[in-house]
Amino acid sequence: MIEADRPVSVQAEEAEDGGANSSMNASLGDVVAQRLSRRDVMRGALAVSVAGAAVESVLRAVSPAAAAPALDGARPVFDFAELGVIEDETHHVADGYDADVLIRWGNPVVGDAPAFAPATQGPEAQAKQFGYNNDFIGFIPLGTAGDRGLLVVNHEYTNEELMFAGLLPRGRGMDAAGKDAVFEAITERHVAVEMMAHGGSVIEIARSGGKWAVVPDSKYARRITAETEMEISGPARGHALMRTSADPEGSRVRGMINNCAGGVTPWGTWLTCEENTNYYFWNKAALDRHPQRSGLVRYGIPSEWYQWGRFHERFDIGREPNEPHRFGWVVEIDPMDPDSVPVKRTAMGRFKHEGAGNIVNKDGRFVVYQGDDERFDYLYRFVTEGKVDAADRAKNRDLLDRGTLSVARFDADGTGHWLPLIHGQSGLVPALGFADQGEVLIQARLAADMLGATKMDRPEDVDVNPATGKVYAMLTNNTKRKSDVTDAANPRGPNVFGHIIEITPDDGDHAAGGFRWEILVKCGDPAIAPLGAAFNPATSRNGWFAMPDNCTFDAEGRLWVATDGNSAAKTGRADGIWGIDTQGEGRGTSTCFFQVPRGAEMCGPCFTPDMETMFLAVQHPGEVAEGAKGQKAASFEDPSTRWPDFQDGVPPRPSVVAVTRRGGGKIARGT
């Protein structure tokens, strides 16, 4: 499953597929194929026929070209000089903008944090410092002036080979017994640092002279780690499958792990989403005798990717068989109260959460859209039972504990349906393995299989356009999809470069049972016909992208997309940020704004309400050396870049970047 000559980031993608979906449900590719047989030209976009050519045969370098013109002489939706395609050791932003590193891995978060010392990094220091691999960013204003706020930041996972001296990357060195040398070299101290580098950070920031800086010794500053005590709430609280020797009541759990994308609620709390939690669990030998074997297999547990189960019994499924059920949830955190206890909201379901795009529905209920980031898994929606109280923040405290979780089915005629995961309905009954609503939510993937949901191509971030109410789902890729199992909403097999789906709720009601859907773009290079890429013809040679991952909307409802997986070997470019038109004649036109340093992934993105700052997360810089197969492995001693410090002996450091316009003004808007 893990190939030694694959980049580490690709190896991680392959590893997460331990929870493969073996149901007979239709895939999104099947649906798209049926739909395109009736309607083979996407409105306002360049559509190219699909062919099954191997990726390696079509990869080539991409040369810079002029920026996309404004259509009909009109002012463009994104008013900036497009960035040319660049792939090197540092970051790049469109001309006229500054991209300043705001905080790095190892920088102080709480007041008594020590200085970063990578050669001697210990868990005590890391617990007080900014964590590793920053992913989701949320901005919560403080006051009305717009020059002060809180950043909430997820710390998804760790790269041992870049964090610690003396380790080889995974799969790069085997011992005499054929075991991964890195796997065996990890010590208990390494694991302790890793656990403290996971979780999230709350930092206060302030703007002066147009530039942002971290406020030292802030009363809001907080680190949340894999050991922070949390409460379990909702239908799965106290469930038999949630009880362990350390928590016989099934009501408390230590830590959150692999927190990827997320969201911020209208009442100012942080929704942080646990994704690939299978990585952390051990003991494959115990799987066959596990009482919940089918559920563990469906979630890819155990994976044994990390060494935590070697030193901590709770991550060993033979010793604590229910511990895996306590991870894979949406966690709600109040950043305004550093003493508050984070809460795992089980009503929202357990799976590999990617994002929590949300909106207050027209009837006042709160709606959250969520992707399950694995090949052939599903898109979900959660609708609260109660309504948001905009006047009293405290009354929304437990709003997320009661509501209906549904999973999406996409039909070939461009319509779709939300299928509720409710115990006692649609086969979700004790005779078929679902004892109660708690078990439906703990085993949400199995329940969604039962309902006939559409199998998607890695649904990652999902967000709602605040201006139009339309929903956009990033489908990153699915190289495991075969050409004979495509469907209307997943039209390519293998889908190497991903696509974006636009969903319009029936009657503008986000709680409605139905919706309409379109494909906004099919990613990849439109100039290479066999790829089947589809962008607006106005998109320049710099404008197309691949592997959409995170996304956000600014205050004007413009869509910004971050990517994960671009590289010199695969696309001739780096990951970055693209603005993409969603309406009018420019629909499907994409424009490049920012690119990350070599080996990094683009995450974040997030705007201040005045649109004068964009915050971005640069994750795992230096992870992959330049080149294709046979490339030299990156390590602490020899990374592919030392961004952002560029100092000998200092490893590359995941960081948050603040992008501002020189001289002030809104991002991508004319003066």
* Domains of the chain, residue spans: 8-275+328-661
The secondary structure of 173-205 as a DSSP string is -B-TTS-BHHHHH--HHHHHHHHHHSEEEEEEE
- What DSSP state is assigned to residue 490? B
**CATH class of the region 8-275+328-661:** mainly beta
Residue ranges of the chain with pLDDT lower than 70?
1-18, 24, 26-76, 169-183, 625-632, 671
Owner of token pair 């996971």? 198
d(CA 487, CA 519): 12
What's the CA dihedral at 155, 159, 165, 167 to 10 degrees? Answer: 150
Q: What is the structure's pLDDT at 169?
A: 67
d(CA 492, CA 478): 9
Which residues partner with 372 through β-bridges? Answer: 353
What's the CA dihedral at 4, 16, 154, 6 to 10 degrees? Answer: 20
Q: What is the structure's pLDDT at 35?
A: 53
Q: What is the structure's pLDDT at 457?
A: 95
Q: What is the structure's pLDDT at 85?
A: 87
Q: What is the structure's pLDDT at 4?
A: 30
Q: What is the structure's pLDDT at 568?
A: 82
Q: What is the structure's pLDDT at 104?
A: 98
d(CA 637, CA 634): 8
d(CA 425, CA 428): 5
Q: By the 8 A CB rule, do 666 and 146 touch?
A: no
Which residues partner with 141 through β-bridges? Answer: 149
Q: Which two tokens stand for residue 332?
A: 């709600």
Q: What is the pTM of this model?
A: 0.91
d(CA 335, CA 162): 30
Residue 34 dihedral angles phi and psi, to the nearest 5°: -65, -40
Q: By the 8 A CB rule, do 568 and 583 touch?
A: no
Q: Which two tokens stand for residue 479?
A: 């190289």
Q: What is the structure's pLDDT at 649?
A: 92
- What DSSP state is assigned to residue 652? P
Q: What is the structure's pLDDT at 285?
A: 96
In three-state secondary structure terms, 272 is: strand
- What's the number of CA atoms in the CB half-sphere (13 Å) around residue 406? 23
- What DSSP state is assigned to residue 581? -
Q: What is the structure's pLDDT at 11?
A: 42
In three-state secondary structure terms, 647 is: coil
Q: What is the CA radius of gyration of the chain?
A: 23
Q: Residue 550's CB: how many other CB atoms inside 10 A?
A: 31
Q: By the 8 A CB rule, do 559 and 607 touch?
A: no
What's the CA dihedral at 249, 251, 257, 261 to 10 degrees? Answer: 150
Q: By the 8 A CB rule, do 651 and 162 touch?
A: yes
Q: Which two tokens stand for residue 601?
A: 């992934």
d(CA 655, CA 653): 6
pLDDT single digits (tens) 439-461: 999 999 999 999 999 999 999 99
In three-state secondary structure terms, 529 is: helix
Query: From residue 578, how far is each of 379, 552, 559, 630 by CA, in Å?
Result: 23, 11, 9, 30
Q: What is the structure's pLDDT at 33?
A: 54
